[in-house]
Structure 1
Amino acid sequence: MPKLILLFFLIFIITGVVAQERAVTPEATVVSSPGIPTAQAKSIDGLSRYINAHYRTPQEKVQALYSWLTSNVVYDVYALTNMPQYYEKQALISQTLTTKKAFCQGYAEVFNEVCAKIGVPSYLVTGFVIPKGSSKPVSHAWCAALLNGKWYLFDPTWGAGFVENGKFVSRINTRYFMAPPAKMIQTHIPFDPLWQFSTQPLTYQEFISSRTGLAKPTVAKPKPLFSYRDSLAVYAASSHKAQLVSTIRRISAHKAIPPVVLDHLNHTKKNLAINNQNETVDLYNEAVSSFNVGIDQLNQFIGYRNNRFQPAKSEQELKQMTQHCADKFSETKRLLQQIKPGDNTNLFLSLQNMKAMVEKALLQVESQRMFVDHYFKTPVKQRPALFYKQALAERN
């Protein structure tokens, strides 16, 4: 029986945020930038090793990282209107460190990756801002990190300077370093309310109204408390798929969803669909692999039988050989039963074909089991004839 050829599906999971932010002009607070050697500043590992070697506490390490980013990476104004909608994460990080230019996602990805290397729990946060002098929400990216048992927010993009008259103005400041969530929500609102780190998260409309001066004087209705600490603990322990599902659920719970959020929500749903497709492909390939192992074992048994069970094995050993084959084909059946092809016609047909092949293989295993039973019940002198009869029966 020929083996199945493993099917490999290459699916690029690309996530990104269209960032067209124009940073507000904050009060400048100059901070010293660590003199990280150029050679070490070209990679996440190099940056992390230097920071770990020269700074002691987590807060000192994060401050050195923030200071280096805001001092050495300039905002890529060209990317403001010409950047691709989607990107590959590691390629963006490499580009940021090589060119020392970035848009918000580049700053945030580098910050988040280095935090992981220096042992600081962190998350990349995506949301939107309303630039000064504008009423249009635009996507943005920043980071959250856990320091001294508390969650703080960091925006190295706005910490590096601002855009004025189409040009980037470098003006390093610490206004967006270790910003308390209650302060950061004045200018930045995450797409997912989880990253507000608040028991009373703002709605998108409340944020927009507060930023555009359109808030109406109304009596505030009490909101149900949001247990973000419990939700964060569940999120941290969840699989990537479960994280996507919970994010979609929290965003969709808003009564009014602005276009900038809807774009992100749809993109997240696409990522979930890709994740599901990848899981299905992985499951199918695992089933194919299990089937191929079973076929190998079955072929080895048949080859050994064709050699008239030489060198000799006990009845128990022969039965174990056939049982191993059966176990692999049963495992294949179990995996195939978990696959939901949906409206994928090609996958549906492949599943039907695989299931038929598994059933045929199981019948062959059962035939070999029966032969082993018959073989040991037959007098020794009559056994050689059994091999000829079995081979003849299989050919017919």
Structure 2
Amino acid sequence: MTKYFYIIILLFSLTNLWSNPKYEKIDKESKSVPDSLKTTEEIAKYLTSELKNDDEKIRALYIWITHNIKYDLDQINSEFQYGSYNEMVDETLKTRKGVCGHYAQLFHYMCKSIGIESFVISGYTRQLDSNKISELDHAWNGVKINDSYFFVDNTWAAGHLSYKGNYVHEFTDNYFLVNAKKFIKTHVPFDPVWQFLNNPISNVDYEKKDFSKLSKRGNFIFKDSISKMVQLDTITQIRKKIDRIIKSGITNVLIEKEIYEDEELIESLTYAKWISNYNSINDKINSANDEINMGISFENIFIGYMNKNFRNPKIEDSEIESTIDKANQHFYQGKNQLKKYKPSVYDLEYSGKNKKFIRLTKNYKETLVDFVIQLERTILKVEPSIIKDTDYSKRYLKKWKPLRDLVAY
């Protein structure tokens, strides 16, 4: 299953409760859409069809989400099981509620549908009313406008907790297109690359509230790192992410949990990759088996003809020749295919560390190896007969018909 991140509920802020004057018209028109619109694509297109600039389009999505999706306190600490992010987003649109992972994925899907480059970022936060690190991880979004990167937190903008612990769905406009140096004061991505800073703040620095690096220019080119990272396979991406997190410092249980979950995800992906490779090879071996069996079937048909001296009923020469040819064609196609893919069977090695997966992959491999050995024994048993019958058929068909019964087998 796909992994999700579930995060901090918002704490009340008394500042910037109202909309930005620059987007007053957009804000007014983006709070609702016709009930007939059901998908992210339909809603996003409706909200942005008359807008030209990316920041305006992002604003329209941000306003609609924060005014229409409520935070679901019942889902805090729940173990979500979704088959895909599509399923997660569809549920969010249907129920009009969720936690931070739902907000972030919904916003991301809407951005993607209208060509806005966005990212779902996971990390931890500091509670707004204290110096404590939140006990829950969090998810938010990054967006790219032209060549600049900003942050959007739809969850925190949508509402807050009352002093009685109830959720209040009340918009606050503090979390729209926030620059990196400001956002890092409250939101720390697990992976430093998503800080959008050329001199990232380490987890150790954040723990000490040391933001002195923000005034210094660093040599970490996060834009290049992001561009290179998205070109890597998923497992390599996660491994490099873990390395960066460890280098940044493991200062709280949320970071430990993130690393643990990433390592578990690597194991699951490694196993899935092995199974995919195994299934591909297994299909090829089974295809070889099918061809060999098809060849044997035609060989048996030929033997049946031969045992009746190609009579009762009379078998035409073309049928005799075609039958033995098909026996050879299918048998040797299967034999050659087995020879080609046999090394791949023996090369099937699981590189993960999970004991359960190691045991399963070992059993799968042993079963396939035994099947290959069985096929090879079948080939050794049947091939001499095919060779002999092929030779006999050639001599038989060349012989003058009245003398064919004298052809030695």
TM-score, structure 1 length as denominator?
Answer: 0.81
Q: How many Å apart are 1:154 and its aligned residue? A: 0.8
Q: How many Å apart are 1:284 and its aligned residue? A: 2.2
Paired amino acid for 1:60:
E
* Partner SS state of residue 285, structure 1: helix
Q: How many Å apart are 1:151 and its aligned residue? A: 1.8
User: In the aligned structure 1, how far is the partner of 2:41 from the partner of 2:342?
Assistant: 41
1:192-225 CA distance string (max 9 Å, x none): 0010111210011222332xxxx59x999x9973
1:17 aligns with 2:11: no
Cα gap change, 1:58 to 1:25, in 2 (>3 Å): same
> Corresponding residue for 2:34?
37
Cα gap change, 1:38 to 1:103, in 2 (>3 Å): same
Contact persistence 2:65–2:154 (CA under 8 A): yes
User: In the aligned structure 2, how far is the partner of 1:353 from the partner of 1:79?
Assistant: 44
> Corresponding residue for 2:92?
96
Match of 2:302 among 308, 313, 328: 308
Q: How many Å apart are 1:251 and its aligned residue? A: 0.9
> Corresponding residue for 1:73?
69
Contact persistence 1:333–1:358 (CA under 8 A): no
CA RMSD of aligned residues (A): 3.3
Contact persistence 2:192–2:248 (CA under 8 A): no
Q: How many Å apart are 1:52 and its aligned residue? A: 5.5
Paired amino acid for 1:234:
K
Q: How many Å apart are 1:100 and its aligned residue? A: 2.0
Cα gap change, 1:337 to 1:252, in 2 (>3 Å): same
Contact persistence 2:9–2:160 (CA under 8 A): no
> Corresponding residue for 1:61?
57
Q: How many Å apart are 1:161 and its aligned residue? A: 2.8
> Corresponding residue for 1:338?
348
* Partner SS state of residue 347, structure 2: helix
1:165-217 CA distance string (max 9 Å, x none): 1233344344321222222112211000010111210011222332xxxx59x
User: In the aligned structure 2, how far is the partner of 1:345 from the partner of 1:147?
Assistant: 49
* Partner SS state of residue 124, structure 1: strand
1:324 aligns with 2:339: no
> Corresponding residue for 1:381?
396
Paired amino acid for 2:348:
Q
Cα gap change, 1:361 to 1:112, in 2 (>3 Å): same
Cα gap change, 1:328 to 1:98, in 2 (>3 Å): same
Q: How many Å apart are 1:106 and its aligned residue? A: 1.4
Q: How many Å apart are 1:66 and its aligned residue? A: 0.7
- Where structure 2 has 5 or more consecutive residues not aligned to the other structure, the ranges are 20-26, 304-318, 399-403
Q: How many Å apart are 1:126 and its aligned residue? A: 0.5
Q: How many Å apart are 1:345 and its aligned residue? A: 2.8
User: In the aligned structure 2, how far is the partner of 1:108 from the partner of 1:115?
Assistant: 11
Cα gap change, 1:187 to 1:327, in 2 (>3 Å): farther
> Corresponding residue for 1:147?
145
Contact persistence 2:198–2:217 (CA under 8 A): no
Give the number of the structure with larger relative contact order, counting CA–CA contacts within 8 Å between residues 6 or more apart: 1
Q: How many Å apart are 1:124 and its aligned residue? A: 0.4
Contact persistence 1:284–1:336 (CA under 8 A): no
Q: How many Å apart are 1:119 and its aligned residue? A: 1.6
> Corresponding residue for 2:182?
183
Identity over aligned residues, as a percent? 19
1:287 aligns with 2:281: yes
Aligned residues: 367
TM-score, structure 2 length as denominator?
Answer: 0.78
User: In the aligned structure 2, how far is the partner of 1:111 from the partner of 1:331?
Assistant: 46
User: In the aligned structure 2, how far is the partner of 1:90 from the partner of 1:84?
Assistant: 19
Match of 2:264 among 262, 267, 270: 270
User: In the aligned structure 2, how far is the partner of 1:56 from the partner of 1:267?
Assistant: 41
Contact persistence 1:152–1:181 (CA under 8 A): yes
Q: How many Å apart are 1:128 and its aligned residue? A: 0.9
1:230-253 CA distance string (max 9 Å, x none): 221122112222222221121122
> Corresponding residue for 1:359?
373
* Partner SS state of residue 125, structure 1: strand
